[in-house]
Chains A and B, each alone.
Chain A
Amino acid sequence: MQTDQLTLQRAIKGDEKAMRQLWLRHSPHIDAVVRRLCGDHDVAADVAQEVWIQIFRALPGYRGESQFGTWAHRIAVNRTLNALRKIKRISRLETEIEDDSAFVEGDSDRTFLAESIDEAMGKLSPGARMVFVLHDIEGYTHDEIGKELGITSGGSKSQLFKARAKLRRLLAHLVDESTAGTGMTHAASL
């Protein structure tokens, strides 16, 4: 997504209209990653505001080496992870990530019919959700995830494998039954 230089220059100078333009254009994507990482809507709303303030604070340092959206996305991920660390969630999940037993599927999960991928992701442990979102949605490598979350690359791979398996089970009901029998499975639209 191209963001014109003039808008950026005006935003750097504190022009509210330009800043609003940037926010309107990019918040749907930026806020989506915040929401996915946080899981909880209320927490995500608070974090999203901090993220945007940080983006505008850092704006004078934007050198245009990458697209604005990509640059802002990185800030969003970093800021969100920092915010979650602050509220003591990461420390808990980092323990869970190293502990395979934390990923135990309960009976309720077997009968749970997720109505959307959001709800299904909500059923993952915080650590597994982080790894899944960062890798499968945001395109981070396992090395990068390891550095961000303070875990090993192998731990990240293991969590991703389990997260995907669990999500596929939780989202099984989204397969169109009429085509499931023919092997032509597809996901229902969300």
Chain B
Amino acid sequence: MQPLSENAFDDMLTRERDRVDQPLTDWDSLSSRLRAEGLIRDPIASRFFSSSFIRIAAGLTLLIGGAAAGRASAGAPVLSLAARDAAQPQNAVPSASAAKTAAETGTLASNAAVAFRSPEEAWEVLNRAGEEYQRASAYLSERNNEVPMPASTDQYRTRLAALDNVMSEMRDAMKEAPEDPVINQYYLATVGAREATLRQLGTVLPASARMNRF
């Protein structure tokens, strides 16, 4: 039998180049891998995570959580006076002037116990609160010598391990309920606490040491 001619073979190759097949994999299995790698993001969760509101809310969660922990460890009541006042029925509907003052001066809503007249006003206060939180954190991490940071790296490692466990639990919970604001806030708060702990740990480690794992 004669071999296929060069021309016939080239014709065949042309068809082969254009030939398409059924995909070798199915979308279900591929998408589950993509989701596991974080390449597919749930649209609602994605919007949630990207919103500045949640970032600020996470910051405030950290702030409130940190303040509560600090007060508890110092033997003080966990709720501040302002917060207690805010919980009083007579302060439940504060005056418009108080709200105006809060927005204009940038004091935190929890301190002034204000109600907001518009979403824009609430956003403004929230944004300012987030910035204040960042500035206060930076100040305290530099200059707060009254409460010494743990010197032992073991303590940080224990905290990091605990935070990782919480993050893992929260991630699982988010898969079940991606829209749940409480879960989202706590997850982001935990991420923030973890990053802060890593930064603190960095200041405790010897200059030559490099942390690869904990």
Contacts and interface: CB of A to CB of B under 8 A. Distances in A.
A137 interface: yes
Contacts of B2: 172, 175, 180
A28 B21 CA distance: 5
B20 interface: yes
Given A168-B9, A175-B4, A23 B23 contact: yes
Contacts of B19: 32, 190
Nearest to B4: A168
A169 interface: yes
Contacts, number: 115
Interface residues of B, number: 36
- Chain A contact surface mostly: helix
A107 B41 CA distance: 56
Given A15-B43, A28-B21, A185 B5 contact: yes
B16 A137 contact: yes
A57 B38 CA distance: 10
Interface string B5-24: 11111011101110111111
Contact of B9 (A24, A34, A164): A164
A34 to B, nearest CB: 6
Contacts of A137: 13, 16-17
A56 B39 contact: yes
Contacts of B43: 15
B45 to A, nearest CB: 10
A57 B2 CA distance: 49
B33 A136 contact: no
Given A19-B34, A168-B4, A45 B46 contact: no
Given A16-B40, A53-B37, A169 B3 contact: yes
A165 B3 contact: yes
Contacts of A53: 30, 33-34, 37, 39
A180 B3 CA distance: 11
B90 interface: no
B171 to A, nearest CB: 16
A29 interface: yes
A31 B25 CA distance: 9
B24 A35 contact: yes
Nearest to A27: B23
A23 B24 contact: no
Contact of A20 (B12, B20, B27, B38): B27
Contact of A174 (B4, B7, B40): B4
A77 to B, nearest CB: 14
A52 B16 contact: no
B29 interface: yes
A49 B33 contact: yes
B25 A48 contact: yes
Interface of A: 13-16, 19-20, 23-24, 27-29, 31-32, 34-35, 41, 44-45, 48-49, 52-53, 56-57, 117, 136-137, 164-165, 167-169, 171-175, 180, 185-187, 189-190
6 contacts: A19-B39, A49-B30, A171-B4, A180-B2, A185-B5, A187-B12
Give 8 nearest A-B pairs by CB, closest first.
Answer: A14-B41, A28-B20, A48-B24, A168-B3, A27-B23, A168-B4, A187-B12, A31-B24
Interface of B: 1-9, 11-13, 15-17, 19-25, 27, 29-31, 33-35, 37-41, 43, 46
